[in-house]
Amino acid sequence: MARKTIDVQNLPMIQDASVAILLSKWYPECVEPMHDKCREILLARGARVTSHLLPGTFEFPFAAQTLAENDFELEGIICLSVVVKGETRHFEAIVDATTRQLSQVSCESAIVIINEILPVLDIQHAMDRSEDDQFNKGIEAAVAAIEMIDWYRNIEQPFEYDNVDFH
């Protein structure tokens, strides 16, 4: 697996951005470390963070929709979860439906939603992606949220192609 570290020190500040983190109660040994890394980076870049522990991944779209409709300061939602493939189609049903519904909520509400639901074949795959190191998926989720919130806050400014850094 190719691993790339992310330089979180050069991320933009998103001062006072309201960000909600949704967490599934399943596989806390993986979800909690992702949450901790994610929250740490968001706070360091100026965000106000609330965390919501939910019964499972399938509840994320309802929670996201509810927050979008009721928290008018909300700029971002990050979904952290692990779904392990079992012997039934439950895995595919949960991941497919949740992904589709979260995308719909994001587009309809104009709120950034970051989907860091880890669909894995076994728990070790999730453990490898949630260790207390620079490859923790909570970091990727925070970075994506910060970059998208910053982008959304600045889209009314003229776009200058010469200022785009592709590296």
Provide the CATH number for the domain around residue 59: 3.40.50.960
Nearest Cα residue to 125 out of 85, 93, 89, 97: 85
In the predicted model, is pLDDT for residue 167 greater than 80? no
The answer to the question of residue 57 being in a domain is yes
CA–CA separation, 19 and 166 (whole Å): 26
pTM: 0.89
Per-residue pLDDT reduced to its tens digit, 46-69? 999 999 999 999 999 999 999 999
The answer to the question of residue 160 being in a domain is no
Q: 111 to each of 65, 72, 85, 98, 104, how far by Cα in Å? A: 10, 10, 29, 16, 11
CA–CA separation, 132 and 18 (whole Å): 25
The answer to the question of residue 9 being in a domain is no
CA–CA separation, 167 and 164 (whole Å): 9
Overall number of domains in the chain: 1
- What sign does the dihedral 45-132-36-18 (CA atoms) show? positive
Per-residue pLDDT reduced to its tens digit, 136-164? 999 999 999 999 999 999 986 665 655 66
Average pLDDT in the 70-87 region? Answer: 95
Range of the domain at 130: 15-153
The answer to the question of residue 2 being in a domain is no
Q: Is 52 a catalytic residue?
A: no
Catalytic residue among 35, 52, 90, 125: 90
* Average pLDDT of the chain to the nearest whole number: 91
The answer to the question of residue 161 being in a domain is no
pLDDT band at residue 90 under the 50/70/90 scheme: confident
